[in-house]
Amino acid sequence: MPRIRSICSALVLALAIALSGASPAAADHHLTDGTSVNLIAFHSDKCADVISASTADGAEIAQYDCNDGLNQLWRMNDLGDGYVELTARHSDKCLDVTSASDSNGAKVIQWTCNGGANQQWQIQDAGNGQVQLIARHSDKCLDVPSSSTDNGARLQQWDCHTGDNQKWELNLVSNPALPGLFADPNIVVFDDTYYLYPTTDGFAGWSGTQYRAFSSTDLVNWTDHGVILDLATDVSWADNSAWAPGIAEKNGKYYFYFSGGLASGNTAKHLGVAVSDSPTGPFTDALGEPLVPAGTYSGQAIDPAVYTDDDGQSYLYWGNGQAQQVPLNEDMISFDPDQVAIYDPPGYNEGAFVVERDGTYYFMWSENDTRSEDYRVAYATGSSPTGPWSDRVGVILQKDLSQGIKGTGHHSVVQVPGTDDWYIAYHRFAIPDGDGTHRETMIDRLYFEPDGSIRPVVPTLEGIAPI
């Protein structure tokens, strides 16, 4: 498994301190509640693993060669008093000392989380980027018996000592960026804080009604700000299909572009705009009617995205089957229909997104159907926010079956302010068992080549280090 080990030593101490609440400065820093990690035994380089990916209470924890399994991934739930619960991502069960035993040699298992002290762990700095994990009820350490290096060696608790078989490295895993099912992420930065605005996924026919906002200062730890717009209650002309939003800021107001339809009657999608004084809403429908009614142009009125040029002029892009592009008026909630231009490169399906770098504009889009594992991202370049656009340059994001990654698309791109560092947010089929309506939001690095072309993105299971 390609691991992002380099970040461990730099971050592990911050994690230990932040989670113990000992240092507010460190708590500001990086890893806190909800971070997922592999627990890697220092002496063996093997991962703490729920045997056979069992979801049963009582399943033992062993060390095993690290792989990409969710049964080797542990979510840290900060209990706020210097202790964490560690829940296995595949089962949502807690790392637990069996029967709350305080004996040396007591087995470590997974068990339904119940708040017991035998499910609470203190993360203690052990130096050199490693930690000890100390059970609250017994004050004993998570330990690999006899310093075994064997696959399958069952973990136990034992009196804490300085042996390497009680030292653990925490390997941060940041993908999926958001817990749960979210697709079509629109990533933006406002005032040095990053925001993600996705489709809430997991509904047959993409019939969800709610939009949520998430924020982060490091692109790894995301705060859920809850529902910012609900078509079922907040919009008169749509009550269904809250799809793929885009957002822009102007003069201290935030404009949220979204699609929706009616569950009954005409199910065509309209495109609307809502406004708020805050990037985390709540948002109010700005017009009381669609900005782009269904049927105005060929294809569905979906997948809005906004690019704002250096001169402050914002442009709206949207469309399925073909893309429309138009300068927005100063009010951000209207445009001149005579200025709408159609762009329909070969392969274009939906999910248009535009960025600029060094005077070159990049028009990117998604190809194929979101239900296909071949959903992917391609691009062209131009000399202005509305082109003219080059021929399709090529694909920059696609499935990677060697990692089980499928259906990578409907992306957006953000530049870290003041740097040439770029990140891409996109969705893929959820792992495991995802499909075109069960998708997860990922963030990976995006690089430009010296000639200005976009290097194909390597989609990762691990994700990124905090910025």
Interface pattern 272-311 for ligand FUB (x via CB under 6 A): ------------------------------xx--------
In three-state secondary structure terms, 308 is: strand
Q: For ligand FUB, which residue of 15, 50, 95, 183 counts as binding (CB under 6 A)?
A: 183
Q: Work out whether 398 is an interface residue with ligand FUB (CB under 6 A).
A: no
Identity of the residue, 54 or 372, whose beta carbon is nearer to ligand FUB in the bound complex:
372
> Which residue among 184, 201, 239, 444 is the active-site one?
184
Q: Work out whether 200 is an interface residue with ligand FUB (CB under 6 A).
A: no
Side-chain half-sphere exposure of 30, counting CA atoms within 13 A: 18
Identity of the residue, 13 or 181, whose beta carbon is nearer to ligand FUB in the bound complex:
181
Q: Work out whether 367 is an interface residue with ligand FUB (CB under 6 A).
A: no
Cβ 302 to ligand FUB shortest distance, Å: 5
> Which residue among 49, 96, 169, 350 is the active-site one?
350
Can 350 be counted among the known catalytic residues?
Answer: yes
Max CA distance (Å), the chain? 78
Can 285 be counted among the known catalytic residues?
Answer: no
Side-chain half-sphere exposure of 352, counting CA atoms within 13 A: 32
Tell me the backbone φ, ψ of residue 27, rounded to 5 degrees. -60, -30
Cβ 117 to ligand FUB shortest distance, Å: 43
Distances (CA, A) of 447 to 47, 175, 220: 31, 18, 18
Identity of the residue, 152 or 205, whose beta carbon is nearer to ligand FUB in the bound complex:
205
Distance from C-alpha of 267 to C-alpha of 259, rounded to nearest angstrom: 12
Q: Work out whether 206 is an interface residue with ligand FUB (CB under 6 A).
A: yes
**Residue 12: which H helix or E strand, with range?**
helix 6-20
Cβ atoms within 10 A of the Cβ of 204, count? 7
Q: Total number of residues binding ligand FUB (CB under 6 A)?
A: 12
Q: Work out whether 410 is an interface residue with ligand FUB (CB under 6 A).
A: yes
Distances (CA, A) of 311 to 103, 285, 307, 314, 383: 69, 27, 11, 9, 15
Cβ atoms within 10 A of the Cβ of 412, count? 25
Cβ 349 to ligand FUB shortest distance, Å: 8
Q: Work out whether 231 is an interface residue with ligand FUB (CB under 6 A).
A: no
Q: In this structure, are residues 157 and 140 in contact, taking their beta carbons and an 8 Å threshold?
A: yes
DSSP 107-132: BEEEE-----GGG-EEEEEEETTEEE
Q: Work out whether 13 is an interface residue with ligand FUB (CB under 6 A).
A: no
Q: Work out whether 244 is an interface residue with ligand FUB (CB under 6 A).
A: yes
**Quick one: how far is CA 43 from the chain centroid?**
32
Interface pattern 425-454 for ligand FUB (x via CB under 6 A): ------------------------------
Q: Work out whether 258 is an interface residue with ligand FUB (CB under 6 A).
A: no
Active site residues: 184, 350
Contacts with ligand FUB by CB under 6 A lie at 183-184, 199, 206, 243-244, 302-303, 350-351, 370, 410
